Amino acid sequence: MNGQEIYNKNKFAMNREEAVKRSPSEHHNYPDIIDSNDGLIELVELDVAGIPSWNRHNSNLNRKIIVEITSYKGISWDAIHFYGKLIVDGVYQATLSNPEKPKNLSFEQEKTYPLLNYKYEFKIKRHLTKEEIEKDPQRWECYDEGDLTQGYEKLDELIKDVKEIIKLRFTGDWDVYIQYPNGKREKLSL
């Protein structure tokens, strides 16, 4: 490892702040840490209860995180990247008086209570390297070293980052599965 690689590795070391930065949501501002019990709340003022969406009739199941891996390799001419997204079990919104009756929150209420959503989604990102920019300056014309991008050239690097992000952002009892571009799904051990 040369001096620049060591510098980059330490500069972007995975800690909680880095994990949050590298797993943004497009729709909501979620807390930095999400516990497997988060969202299971009752709000009397809104007549809403968050109940398990993953386990409405069987109390022995854990919440799931699906790591969805996509790629245009083999479809698009010069495609070389893999992309990752976390799809996390949220909660079913029900009325307090009748858990079988759904309760829809307004957009503003969902912004205030983001954990009262049926699912949460997070895109997985990584930092661009100086070498990548130099190798393909036309593609990365408006980017600088260290900027975030979604594309990973190596699947194992994407999976390694996903594992670190999950360990740093999710607490409690979760079952984690990885879904590959070919549709194959398997349990992912952290």
Percent above pLDDT 90 for the chain: 66
Q: Is the pLDDT of residue 33 over 90?
A: yes
In terms of residue numbers, what domain contains 149?
A: 3-38+62-92+116-187
Classify residue 87 as left (phi > 0), alpha (psi -120 to 50) or beta. Answer: beta
pLDDT for 99 equals 84
In a domain, 128, yes or no: yes
In a domain, 143, yes or no: yes
In a domain, 155, yes or no: yes
In a domain, 135, yes or no: yes
Domain count, the chain: 1
Tokens 């036309």 identify what position? 138
pTM confidence score: 0.88
pLDDT for 79 equals 64
What is the pLDDT confidence band of residue 1, given thresholds at 50, 70 and 90? low
For the chain, give percent helix, strand, coil, nearest 5. 25, 25, 50
